[in-house]
Amino acid sequence: MIYITGDTHRDFNRLCKNNFNNDDMVIILGDAGINYFLNEEDEELKEYLNNLNIKLFCIQGNHEERPENIPTYKEVTMFDGKVFIEDKFPNLIFAKNGEVYSIDDKKVLVIGGAYSVDKYYRMVYGYQWFKDEQLNDKEKEEILEKYKGKHVDIILSHTCPLKYEPTEVFMSGIDQNKIDKSMEEFLNKILENVDCDKWYCGHYHTEKQIDKLEFMFGRIKVFNKDEYYPKYNKDGYEIIRDYCKQDDIYRNNDVCCPKCKGNNIIIQKGNGEYIYGLDEIAIICNDCKKVYGFSDVKYRPNCPREL
C-alpha cells in the first residue's frame, strides 16, 4: 500500500504508531529532515528508519540538503524515473526534481524546494540553512518546457502555487513583502500550463483542500484516495475525524457520546505536548464502536494533529 503525509522534520512518531510493512511506502512531501545535520546524527536517524521495515519516498523541502549534493548518494532508476539512494539505506528514497514517476499506476510529477521565511534568523544564529533550497532558474525553465501542455495524473510539491497560499497560517511578525515567492510564482505557471487531476503539497503545516490541491501535514492518507490512515483504532473501532466540537459531548452536565448520547464512553487524550488547554482529542464510544474526533482542539504552532 502507498501512503502520503506532510513534513516530518525528523519526527517519525506517526509512522511508528502504525503497522506498516516492507511492501508499504510513505510519500513525505518535503522537510523529512533525514539529511539535515549532515553528520553522525543523520546516520543514526537513517539506521533507525531502516529498521522500521517501510519505504520512504521523500520530496525535497527547504530545511534539508539535496541528496545530489551528498557524496554517498547515487542516482538510480526506480518507478520509471531517476531517484537518489544510499547503498546502506535502500528504503530511504529521494525524488529528483522534475521527474515523472509511475506510482500506483499514476503519472506523478515531483517539484520540490521552497524558500525559508526564517532564512536570516538561521544564518545569524547558526542553524542549518541550505543554499539550494529552491529550484534555480534553469531548473524551473527546463521543467516548464518539458511538461508544458501535457497531462500528468498527480503533482507532488513542497510548497504551493501562489494562487493558493494559505495566508491564514503565515507566521506573525514576518513582512511578507520581503519573502522570496519565486517558487510559488513558478508553481503558478505549472498550474496554468500542466494539466493534472490532483496536487499534494506540504510546507505550511496545515491541512485543507482547495480545488484539486491538498495541503498535508501530520496526518497520513492512502495515496490518491480521500481516506485517512489508520481507519480503525487498536480495538477495531472506526475513527471519525473532526466529527464534533469538544462542547458537543456534554448533555445535562454529563459527558456522553455525541452520536448515540450514551455514556458507555472513554475520553481519548493527546500526548500533553502539542495542545493548548484541554488535551482531549476524541470520545471513544463502546456502544457505537467508533472514535469521534474533536474538530476544535487547539494545537500549538507547527504541531501535527494526533488523530
User: Residue-wise pLDDT tens for the chain (307 aa)?
Assistant: 999 999 999 999 999 888 888 899 999 999 999 999 999 999 999 999 998 889 999 999 999 999 999 999 999 999 999 999 999 999 999 999 999 999 999 999 999 999 999 998 899 998 999 999 999 999 999 999 999 999 999 999 999 999 999 999 898 888 888 899 999 999 999 999 999 999 999 999 999 999 999 999 999 999 999 999 999 999 999 999 999 999 999 988 899 999 999 999 999 999 888 999 889 999 999 999 999 999 999 999 889 999 9
pLDDT at 195: 98
1 neighbors 221 (Cβ within 8 angstroms): no
pLDDT at residue 173, rounded to an integer: 80
Contacts of 153 (CB under 8 A, 6+ apart): 106, 107, 108, 196, 197, 198, 224
What are the grid coordinates assigned to 108, written together?
506523478
Q: Which H or E run includes 44?
A: helix 40-50
The phi-psi region of residue 187 (left if phi > 0; otherwise alpha if psi is between -120 and 50; otherwise beta) is alpha
The whole-number pLDDT of residue 56 equals 98
Pairwise CA distance, residues 216 & 303, whole Å: 13
Domain with CATH 3.60.21 in the chain: 2-229
Top-tier CATH class for 2-229: alpha beta
In 203-298, the DSSP E strands lie at 208-210, 213-215, 220-222, 228-229, 238-244, 250-251, 254-255, 265-269, 280-285, 290-294
Q: Which of 241, 220, 234, 231 is nearest to 293 (CA)?
A: 241
pLDDT of residue 53: 85
- For residues 64 and 73, is the Cβ–Cβ distance under 8 A? no
pLDDT at 19: 83
Candidates 275, 270, 271, 267; CA nearest to 291 is 267
Give residue 159's pLDDT: 98
- Local structure of 269: helix, strand or coil: strand
pLDDT of residue 176: 86
pLDDT of residue 278: 86
Query: Cβ contacts of residue 16 below 8 Å, gap of 6+?
Result: 52
Sequence length of the chain is: 307
Q: Which three cell numbers stand for residue 250?
A: 456534554
Residues 183, 111 contacting (CB under 8 angstroms): no
Q: Which residues contact 75 (CB under 8 A, 6 or more apart)?
A: 68, 82, 83, 84, 96
Measured distance CA(6)–CA(119) in Å, rounded: 21
